[in-house]
Structure 1
């Protein structure tokens, strides 16, 4: 390299270095230079959400130091129609999600609620069991039970009778609907049990409280010995007022209390009817009948004659006395459109009417209607009545009474009849089985041919093979009837 070339290179390098050192970055010159985020204007494509997703709304400005100024960016607002960070949806903006894409559902319309969360109430569930409290398979998976009231349901094996049933899930009061309450320990909607032998306490055929404050009626179910009921929510419609009949009302939300009965049930022929009040049959027969005028308390307690369940299995409650359930039944015809024929209740032992205490009207006598109580009804009788001990034909529904007062046509000799399948029937005196088998006042003076006194046998023992109280041998330990029917008949004792 020549001396001239070397000097030229040195001169050029020194000259370039001097130019660079003399240039300085200047904010406000309109050119974004190193160390600057902006210069005056902000690119239109840049938004608050890109720089800070937690503050997606508002306007980005450029500060005097050529840095982004986010002070005008705003946090998201649910309801502005734009789905922001932290929101599942907003208005019609569902983020492309559908009933199917969020899982469990197979069709329907996905919506957004007021809290910017998915509303699945219009989604259809890919499920097998539609209704709550229906039997289900606890091993069938999450799609076994259909949702209810926008909440998922589960196949619970802890239902009251020990079977597995579909129960709606819940997490706070008010999610379960009419007559149900949320069990906050198990997070399922269920009936509140009540009665002497229940955790809810109280008494059957009386008032109860649902969800701690909603009035209801402890409606008895099962057997009489269970002394248990469910607290059915009360509406506002009074006895005799119009009401709405809805078979699926229990567990439904947004029920108008004005359409539902207050401590009663709606009786009608279609979707509307009239309220009939519940009553306490035990109080009615021992103290006073408090049903409204032209109505009297009727006890529906009976013997369970269903030997098999609907699934073909042996009925564990076969021949046990059913729960005592009372309803204010009309005493005259056609005052409730759904009930054509009224009836007057009476005491089978005294023969007197429950409501007034007077004897049954002329040409009628007090006869059994159900076999679970001492409450009968005033039934038309023949002009010539048969005395106790006389042979008679088994009564048919609607037949005229043929036996004298305080007696009825019944199995004549349950202990000794040689043909128990086709027994002999005679007019037999009715008795209060609670007063004992022997020396029962209703059986006084009645004897066999050899002078052996008759005994009072509860009807609960007439139908069992050994003529003892009904027993459920499928239960461990064995369960025996402890609340047999108080209704008995005076019959010969076993030989």
Structure 2
């Protein structure tokens, strides 16, 4: 060709040769020209040098090239084929933290660490033996054994899986008993001691007539309703002058049999 000028970009170069991509000569405006139509080499298309993101896979250099900027599809922005451990969550992966630690939230196979997979998630799981048998030393929830987990441990009398008192097992995993300071079924009270002179006796609310002297309230308690013995029905000691004739008193307050004589302060009738 000969276009009568020295413009190398108008289709006819200064050597009077037509400029054609693919002729093996790098002309002005071309980044490369390897003289072939192989789209997988260093000069894949339209005489432009291969680069990640051009949509052409450069063999031996790139694992993939899908021509976009998405890091979570089938090809990363670095033109590497997606793989577990590259730090990007691809289709089919639950997670990808980009490390080789099997004991964190994301395992080496890019699956989430869960209780029962046989791998202990450090800082979260106490154990993980890969089964759901809670009697083998590792609870089915991978948590430390403890009172209230529903599993009977060596130091527990019972474990009903709750933290409620008043049923057959206390919140401390002990069998309810009178004196444990927990009011269980069948108890009126439980003050946690075995004192017989306070408000709660043998897990029954203390009352006058129960035969137990509440030292700060009662002067006596003989456990009966006989008002003529040494202890009155109001749990006060019987005394001369209380208006009730007890054993040993001839009278108390009035003379018997209408004798028209007064009862002395000693509860006797003067002659």
Q: TM-score, normalised by structure 1?
A: 0.22
Which structure has greater strand proportion? 1
Q: TM-score, normalised by structure 2?
A: 0.35
Which structure has greater helix proportion? 1
Larger Rg: 2
